[in-house]
Chains A and B, each alone.
Chain A
Amino acid sequence: MADEIWITGFGLVSPLGATPATCWERLSSGGSDPSRHPSLGYACYPMRDFDAAQHVQRRADVRQMGELMLYATVAARRALQSADLSPAQPALSRLQISVAADGGERDLAADETALAAVLPAKDPATALNEQLMRARPSHFLTQLPNLIPSNICIVNGFAAPSRTLMGTEAMSAEALRDAVSRIRAGQADLMLVGSTKNALCVQSAVCYTAGGLLSHDPLDSLWREENTGFCLGSVAAFVVVESAEHARARSARGLARITAVDTSFGARDQSSDCERRLLARWQRAVPKPPHALGVLSGITGQGDLARRERNFLSGVQVAGTRVSVRATALAQGHTVEAAFFANLVFALLCLERRQLFPPLDRSEPLETATLDEPLKEVLVTSWGSTHAEGFAQLEAVT
């Protein structure tokens, strides 16, 4: 049984910046600015300054991936490099990959060509069949989310078993919880865990809108309880997780200790007491709360979740813990499955500097509160837009 679990590497592809340092600078100056989807017009935080050809050598590889998978291959590579796991490292042969994702990505141009033939057709069903048979065979592959880890391996030149967890924010905290549990029990030695999101993915925007979850216009605060939806963001974030023992044996540096990680299932109706259930889990996982706790909040922009996060955090503060909170969806949009991993990476950046970046929302008392001591622990929360919640707590490795 491995008691201490470390994060030993991280990789990020974000509109906030190309390197951890530029990312930190941008976070410290209020984050990225939202823009509008070029054709659909919804407010979002798309990737900036990301040139696929610069990161993926073979054009054939680029052609077989959508943006979602491209971001993931680069973020995963950065995470492995940061953990000193080059393809030549023997430890890499013990790696297992866990990815949290929505679906894949469709070829929108091909879909619209099909629609143009189907809508006026006398026999729409046959017209659709004929159109579907005209697609490029490889289109299908970008629709399969398990091709995210597959492309991570193919593009970066190594093989590893992988599992892709599907759907909504909660699968991300679940993926980390599973990774920690497997490592602790000796069922895995070394895991690459993460996710990827593309704010410009039209099918996602349509689905979220159909569920009443997306805000068409930008949000200037995530803490307003009258807000009804979130703005999508683009990001890919991966972390490398292993036991302290395993890391020491290969002379790898611990960036943070994962002291707690858990999830719970709660509904989003008025009667749901999911924040109380989550608090009970946190209290069980963190029996001795610290004096000061930085919180990177996974609230999405939906007002209901702001209320629940406030309730949860007031429970965290009951035992005398001071909290200072940053709701990062204001800096990069809500990145759904990837939000939890992006916040884990931001937590690592904060722990390295022993401080939080400045408040993103200066009108929110939870954000402007100060900790009065160097940052040693960060709580990352995850709030599902339709159900389920989770958290992880990280501690600096001294």
Chain B
Amino acid sequence: VTQRRVAVTGLGLVTSLGIGTSINWRRMLEGTSGVDRITRFPTDGLRVKIAATVALDGLSADALIAERARAMGDLVVDEALAQAGFARPDRFPGAFFIAPPCHDTEWPEVIAAARRGDAPTYEAVYDVVRRAGRVPRLAYEHIGAHYANRHDLDRLPMCVTTACASGSTAVQFAVEAIRRGECSAAVVLGTDGPVRPEMMARFALLSALSTQNDCPQQASRPFSKDRDGFVLGEGAAAMVLEDPDHARSRGTEILAYVLGSGDAGDNFHRTRSNPSAEPIADCVTRALSDAGIDREAVDHVNAHGTSTPENDKMEWLGLRSALGDHAARVPVTSIKSMIGHTIHAAGTVEAVCTVMTTMTGLIPPTINYDVPDPELPVHLVANEARKHVVRVALSNSFGFGGQNVCLVIEKA
């Protein structure tokens, strides 16, 4: 409460474009797509056969979502802590806030147990597991406990889900905790490895995924008239957030600031936005008010921009309502055009890229923008990166269940 701004002092990023913030940033500025045909598992019988996956050494093709999330998480947390210059990252003097994948049983383990029990029932699965005593890959290995042990934390990290807005909600939690002086430094981690048959099927059944199997790299087309859904992506991002005085006293470089945030609930429908776009506009307006700035101060929007017909339309309507005439002048981009939708990680991934934009004065492109949608006169950074001095940028995240979050990032 005493200090409105919260400093960003470390970044870490893993996406389908590579491991590390700098290689990701270079490839994004080049407009590279990380989307491809899925080779990790057979896709026969699935409607969608493309995704933006991350290949990691040491992870088998059938690694669980939770294992993948943890492996990517370790990489980005270490990168961010190293940049922030903490002498003992194994004894982090602050709190962690994590946006992980949701806890669920996974098919390979359930099928293996049912096979051992020789019956296609949960009764058989339960009996096999009970006789075994322990089956670690079916047990609930809490990702928060992993980081509490890894960094000697004194509390279990807050592990939050607000569906596809989770990565931004984790930032909100950290900003609030630092503002009220509860900790002077925090690590925010968003991580998800959802490219598994069940997720591919679930999102396809909800008609949320692009079916452009024959042109994977052109499939994600945010704000285009011919957009037909998102591409599922994997990735992780970490940010070290810090009380600015604390950062200065450590002599570490402040990369950017989080100026504020806002969230708004939408009870119109479980998976669709209120057609008024009011909740989206509300979260933007609340974020601006929390940041203490006027809407004309916004220089750039890193959009949620999933490439679904519904999302991109509602996001534009929400921005127009919150920013007024200014909305059509603000350069907007969606990096999901290149790395797909990393679900629980997306908010943190995009916050990291928004910080990079304020640091470099470069906005990564929204690729595949060939057919403008006349209904969405958004001022898109189309197909090529753009030089643009960005003092204040918004990063939007929206999720199923009426979750809407907006972050305000400021150039240092």
Which residues does A use to contact B, with CB under 8 Å? 39-40, 42, 64, 97, 102-104, 106, 108, 111-112, 115-116, 118-119, 123-130, 132-133, 135-141, 143-147, 149-151, 153-154, 157-168, 170-171, 174, 178, 181-182, 184-187, 202-203, 205-212, 216, 263-265, 267, 277, 384, 386-388
Question: Which of A40, A137, A145, A184 is in CB contact (< 8 Å) with B206?
Answer: A137
A34 to chain B, nearest CB (A): 17
Q: In the bound complex, do residue A209 and residue B126 qualify as a contact, i.e. CB atoms below 8 Å apart?
A: yes
Q: In the bound complex, do residue A140 and residue B41 qualify as a contact, i.e. CB atoms below 8 Å apart?
A: no
With A129-B201, A162-B403, A178-B173 as known contacts, state yes or no: A124 contacts B111, CB within 8 Å.
yes
Q: In the bound complex, do residue A168 and residue B267 qualify as a contact, i.e. CB atoms below 8 Å apart?
A: no
With A129-B44, A206-B122, A210-B139 as known contacts, state yes or no: A140 contacts B102, CB within 8 Å.
no
Question: Which of B160, B263, B267, B270 is in CB contact (< 8 Å) with A158?
Answer: B267
Which residues 356-379 of B sit at the A interface, judged by CB distance below 8 A? none
Q: In the bound complex, do residue A102 and residue B120 qualify as a contact, i.e. CB atoms below 8 Å apart?
A: no
Q: In the bound complex, do residue B267 and residue A203 qualify as a contact, i.e. CB atoms below 8 Å apart?
A: no
Mostly, the A contact residues are mixed
Q: In the bound complex, do residue A115 and residue B120 qualify as a contact, i.e. CB atoms below 8 Å apart?
A: yes
Chain A residues near B201 (CB-CB < 8 A): 129, 132-133, 135
Question: Which of B47, B110, B401 is in CB contact (< 8 Å) with A147?
Answer: B401
B74 to chain A, nearest CB (A): 18
Q: In the bound complex, do residue A265 and residue B265 qualify as a contact, i.e. CB atoms below 8 Å apart?
A: no
Chain A residues near B271 (CB-CB < 8 A): 141
- Cα of A159 to Cα of B282 in the assembled complex, Å: 12
Interface-facing stretch out of B76-84, B145-153, B225-233, B317-325: B145-153
List the count of A-B residue pairs having beta carbons below 8 Å apart: 257
Chain B residues near A216 (CB-CB < 8 A): 130
With A209-B130, A387-B145 as known contacts, state yes or no: A171 contacts B104, CB within 8 Å.
no
Would you call B310 an interface residue if the criterion is a C-beta within 8 Å of the partner chain's C-beta atoms? Answer: no
- Cα of A130 to Cα of B44 in the assembled complex, Å: 8
B285 to chain A, nearest CB (A): 13
Would you call B154 an interface residue if the criterion is a C-beta within 8 Å of the partner chain's C-beta atoms? Answer: yes
Size category, B interface? 35 or more
Q: In the bound complex, do residue B197 and residue A128 qualify as a contact, i.e. CB atoms below 8 Å apart?
A: yes
A281 to chain B, nearest CB (A): 9
Q: In the bound complex, do residue A119 and residue B45 qualify as a contact, i.e. CB atoms below 8 Å apart?
A: no
Interface bits B161-179 vs A (CB < 8 Å: 1, else 0): 1110000010001001101
With A106-B105, A150-B270, A157-B267 as known contacts, state yes or no: A140 contacts B162, CB within 8 Å.
no
A194 to chain B, nearest CB (A): 16
Most A C-beta atoms less than 10 A away, residue of B123, B203, B205, B269? B205
* A to B CB contacts below 8 Å, 10 in the list: A127-B45, A133-B45, A137-B202, A140-B202, A161-B404, A165-B158, A207-B103, A263-B156, A387-B142, A387-B148
A385 to chain B, nearest CB (A): 9
A117 to chain B, nearest CB (A): 8
Query: Which residue on chain A has the smallest CB distance to residue B107?
Result: A128
With A126-B44, A210-B134, A210-B139 as known contacts, state yes or no: A167 contacts B205, CB within 8 Å.
no
Chain B residues near A263 (CB-CB < 8 A): 155-156
Q: In the bound complex, do residue A145 and residue B120 qualify as a contact, i.e. CB atoms below 8 Å apart?
A: no
10 smallest A-B Cβ distances: which pairs?
A129-B45, A150-B401, A211-B139, A132-B201, A115-B120, A210-B138, A185-B180, A116-B120, A103-B103, A130-B45
Q: In the bound complex, do residue B126 and residue A40 qualify as a contact, i.e. CB atoms below 8 Å apart?
A: yes
Q: In the bound complex, do residue A166 and residue B182 qualify as a contact, i.e. CB atoms below 8 Å apart?
A: no
